[in-house]
Homo-oligomer: A and B are copies of this chain.
Amino acid sequence: MLDNSDLNAMQENFPFWEDLNKEEKSTILEGTIRFTHKKGAIVHEDRNKCTGLLMVKTGQLRIYIISDTGKEITLYRLFERDVCVLSASCLIRNITFDVHIVAEKETTMLRVATDVFKTVGSVNPKVLDFTNELVSSRFSDVMWVVEQVVFMSFDKRLAMQLLELSAIEQSDTLSVTHEALARDLGTAREVVTRMLKRFQDDGIVALSRGGITITDHDALYQLT
Contact A145 B147 (CB under 8 A): no
Q: Which of B67, B136, B150 contacts A135 (CB 8 A)?
A: B136
User: Who on chain B is nearest to A140 by CB?
Assistant: B96
Contact A95 B149 (CB under 8 A): no
Contact B149 A146 (CB under 8 A): yes
User: Who on chain B is nearest to A152 by CB?
Assistant: B67
A 139-171 to B, binary, CB cutoff 8 A, 1 in contact else 0 = 110111111011100000000000000000000
Does residue A207 face the partner (Cβ distance < 8 Å to B)?
no
User: Who on chain B is nearest to A72 by CB?
Assistant: B150
Q: A71-B151, A125-B125 are in contact. Are A65 and B143 (CB under 8 A)?
A: yes
Q: Which of B75, B93, B144 contacts A136 (CB 8 A)?
A: B93
Does residue A73 face the partner (Cβ distance < 8 Å to B)?
yes
Does residue A42 face the partner (Cβ distance < 8 Å to B)?
no
**A interface with B by C-beta (< 8 Å):** 65, 67-69, 71, 73, 75, 92-97, 125, 128, 132-140, 142-147, 149-151, 186
- 17 more CB-based (< 8 A) A-B contacts, given A67-B150, A96-B140: A65-B143, A65-B146, A65-B147, A67-B147, A67-B151, A69-B151, A71-B150, A94-B134, A97-B140, A97-B144, A125-B128, A128-B128, A128-B132, A135-B136, A135-B139, A142-B142, A142-B143
